[in-house]
A and B are shown apart, each in its own frame.
Chain A
Amino acid sequence: MQDANLRYPEIGISEVSLTFGGKIGYLDEQFCQVEDLQDEASPNFAEEVVTLFFKDSARLMSNIELALEKYPKDFNRWDAYMQQLKGSCSSIGASRMKCEFMSFRDYCGQGNVEGCMRSFQKVKREHTVLRQKLETYFQLLRQAGPAGAATRPVM
């Protein structure tokens, strides 16, 4: 199966991160799976799912933000909330966000409040960047129209 990062070179979704000792793109193969579910009957399926994801994840993140403030050192609760967000992220293939969850979990395990806070801020940043990139991506797809869609690599 083609690497998601090769599929979207024009948007910079293929930009990689050298954190975690390896290369991780913004999106992984799961995003390709989501796109592949599109057809003539559901031509905007991927964009619809992504829109729902960002709506849902914004809500989950404000829950987490509240929990970090309202329930100090409640690592179990923090971890549980992050798990929900992580689940959503893996459904659309948000790989960089997913990686940061592992750091957060580690910090929870260590009882490291400062680490948790930093990690969560990173998640927020990744979330914002991903949203911008995907907005651009879908915009370009719309502008390209049917011709653009035809030249996109097909699995």
Chain B
Amino acid sequence: MAVATETPFHVLAVDDSLPDRKLIERLLKTSSFQVTTVDSGSKALQFLGLHDEESPVSVHADQLDVAVNLIITDYCMPGMTGYDLLKKIKESSSLRDIPVVIMSSENIPSRINRCLEEGADEFFLKPVRLSDMSKLKPHILKSRCKEHYHQEQHQQIDSNSNESSNPTNNSSNSRKRKAADDEILPQTNRLRHS
């Protein structure tokens, strides 16, 4: 079945190494993702609308200029490690549903397990390859299903008469993109019901 052309998914890539940032950006763009790169965990949090100096603030959809569909981060970074960043994201009610992928050049099982237990969706061993990119979209689609499901639940509680397949954005939890969500939601609806 042909799928309507989608707005590309947006990935936030976090890595303190400049060559690695360039590489991951290229891998992502080649795989049709829209990419933003930052060189630290704290810059990532700033971009996402959180400030790590203060206690996490609930972010309204408006504060995020562009929705982020997935975060991919290096583990070893000075200051805030990828693990610390992961924790902050999972502690935030507005960001916790964004899938997070951790990258590391070291294959340390205890590190990998720790990240997965903290809620990371995937762990990539560096150097990351083009073939790894195909693992990202399933996580994004899964989280959008979850988000859509939560929105629907919320809607059902609010009203009984809404027959639209595009629930209105009344949840502060929403990371709805400004455009093209109408094309996406029916698709995830289909995925959920199939």
Contacts and interface: CB of A to CB of B under 8 A. Distances in A.
Contacts of A93: 127
Interface in A72-127: 83-84, 86-88, 90-93
A90 B127 contact: yes
Contacts of B27: 37
Nearest to A80: B76
Interface string B33-47: 000000000000000
A34 B17 CA distance: 16
A125 to B, nearest CB: 21
Interface stretch (A12-20, A52-60, A129-137, A143-151): A52-60
A135 to B, nearest CB: 16
Main secondary structure of the interface of A (DSSP, over half): helix
B105 A90 contact: yes
A30 B23 CA distance: 11
Nearest to B104: A87
A9 to B, nearest CB: 24
A78 to B, nearest CB: 15
Contacts, number: 53
B126 A49 contact: no
A10 interface: no
A56 B15 CA distance: 13
A91 B19 contact: yes
B20 A88 contact: yes
Contact of B18 (A33, A52, A84, A90): A52
Interface residues of A, number: 22
B154 interface: no
A134 B127 CA distance: 19
Interface in B22-79: 22-23, 26-27, 30, 76
A124 B135 CA distance: 37
Nearest to A89: B105
**Which of A49, A53, A83, A91: most chain B CB closer than 10 A?**
A91
A34 B105 CA distance: 16
Interface string A37-51: 100001001001100
Interface of B: 17-20, 22-23, 26-27, 30, 76, 105-106, 126-127, 129-130
29 contacts: A34-B23, A36-B130, A37-B23, A42-B26, A48-B22, A49-B19, A49-B23, A49-B26, A52-B18, A52-B19, A52-B22, A56-B17, A56-B18, A56-B19, A83-B76, A83-B105, A83-B106, A84-B17, A86-B105, A87-B17, A87-B105, A88-B19, A90-B105, A91-B20, A91-B23, A91-B105, A91-B127, A92-B19, A93-B127
